[in-house]
Amino acid sequence: MTGLASLVALVLVSLPAQASVILTRADVEALRNRVEFIPRGRQARAARMSDVLAVGDALRTAAAAQADLRFNDGSLARVGERATFRFVPNTRNFRLTNGTVLLLIPPGRGRTNIQTPSAVTGIQGSAVVVRYIPDSDLTVVMALTNNPAGPMTITANSCGGDSTACGATEYSLYGGQMALIQNNQVQVVEFDLPMFYQTSPLVEGLELDNPDADAPLGPDLEAVREETLEALEDQTPFSAEVVTLINPTVIGSDGTNQLSGEQPWMFFPDDSGVSPISILRGVLTPWDGLITTIPSTQIAIPQPIQLPGRPGDSLIGGGDNEEVVNRDPEFFIPDK
């Protein structure tokens, strides 16, 4: 047994440690409407399909615009409207200073961080949507997958991006969960994955919810697509009694896309017995363009409804007077 153990130990030691794949470039793969390429230290200009983002470069989108970037590690970034997006040289760190981005990152590339002014999201190869709203310093993170290497992590960015320096709390985020980060507070809720894929223009054409598609994103991202399908299968179907709180046009790429009140994203808190209205009051405001009109404190709120098969989870019944609020600016926000 001693000889066998020594042999196993020798083999394990001889195996190379998996190193992170450093980001060095991103090719512009698709463009829609007004997109600007900002070379490092130079003036912005209209982006072209031949453009390559190198270290220090950035991409900026206007209203109803969108851009797809393919990185040297096989990752895909879909930059939604009114966004400014860049990657940090010789790291696996992305920065989003406004707007929305969808990231599809193959497994085995190492830990990736997406930093906004109010939060840091860490993933080990997954599909994630991140949105930052500067006016309210609000970050929204939506996990579309469960990665075998571990859940996504969310940290309020009160330490300049280094959560370990000041002992900031790290929250786990699993497929079908959404984190709202504002004023150094993190709230995790659950959202409806099938409804998201049906209503969000940000995922159009990617076939993330289509099991019959034949590797539409290439071999590098097929493992990620398998994870999005697994997360869809694992999520318990939502009840029709959920209150309408999320405006689908916000986490999208086309602000002109109008969705009816019958197509909301629906979510409820993980904390048992607590209504989503009471949690979100004071955290979000209609000016964020994220939530519908919510009752005042004088209006009676329906009692929580127990969900079948999910002990402790509860929903709040919605009314007929809900109205989607979308007050995002017409044009993109300049990079600061």
**pLDDT given at position 56:** 85
Read off the pLDDT band of 159 (50, 70, 90): low
Question: What mean pLDDT comes out for the span 277-292?
Answer: 42
Q: Tell me: the pLDDT tens digits for 197-254?
A: 998 989 999 999 999 998 889 998 999 999 999 999 999 887 655 544 444 444 544 3
CATH number of 26-196: 2.60.120.1440
Neighbouring CB atoms inside 10 A of 10's CB total 9
**pLDDT given at position 321:** 32
Read off the pLDDT band of 20 (50, 70, 90): confident
Spatial separation of the C-alpha atoms in residues 255 and 298, rounded to whole Å? 33
- Cβ neighbours of residue 54 closer than 8 Å, sequence gap 6 or more: 24, 25, 40
**pLDDT given at position 236:** 85
Q: Tell me: the pLDDT tens digits for 68-123?
A: 999 999 999 999 999 999 988 788 999 999 999 999 999 888 889 999 999 999 99
Q: Please give, one letter per residue, the 3-state secondary structure of 59-106.
A: EEECCCCEEEEEECCCCEEEECCCCEEEECCCCCEEEEEEEEEEEECC
Q: Which residue has the tokens 């309210």?
A: 136
**Strand 84-87 versus strand 93-104 pairing type:** antiparallel
Domain coordinates of the chain in residue numbers?
A: 26-196
Indicate the residue type of 239: S
Spatial separation of the C-alpha atoms in residues 79 and 60, rounded to whole Å? 8
Spatial separation of the C-alpha atoms in residues 280 and 180, rounded to whole Å? 9
Cβ pair 202, 129 in contact under 8 A: yes
Spatial separation of the C-alpha atoms in residues 192 and 195, rounded to whole Å? 5
Mean pLDDT, the chain, whole residue set: 72
Please tell me which residue, 15 or 188, carries the higher pLDDT value.
188
Question: What mean pLDDT comes out for the span 46-71?
Answer: 94
Read off the pLDDT band of 150 (50, 70, 90): confident
**pLDDT given at position 238:** 72
Read off the pLDDT band of 263 (50, 70, 90): very low
Find residue 102's DSSP bridge partners: 78, 129
Is the pLDDT reported for residue 269 higher than 60? no
**pLDDT given at position 252:** 46
Question: What mean pLDDT comes out for the span 257-267?
Answer: 34
Spatial separation of the C-alpha atoms in residues 225 and 232, rounded to whole Å? 11
Spatial separation of the C-alpha atoms in residues 62 and 35, rounded to whole Å? 6
Question: What mean pLDDT comes out for the span 24-53?
Answer: 95
**Token couple for 22:** 């450093």
Is the pLDDT reported for residue 132 higher than 90? yes
- Cβ neighbours of residue 167 closer than 8 Å, sequence gap 6 or more: none
**Token couple for 23:** 């980001």
Whether the full predicted model's pTM is greater than 0.75, yes or no, is no
Spatial separation of the C-alpha atoms in residues 298 and 334, rounded to whole Å? 40
Bin 64: left if φ > 0, else alpha if -120 < ψ < 50, else beta.
left
Spatial separation of the C-alpha atoms in residues 57 and 98, rounded to whole Å? 16
Cβ pair 166, 155 in contact under 8 A: no
Please tell me which residue, 319 or 202, carries the higher pLDDT value.
202
Spatial separation of the C-alpha atoms in residues 193 and 161, rounded to whole Å? 29
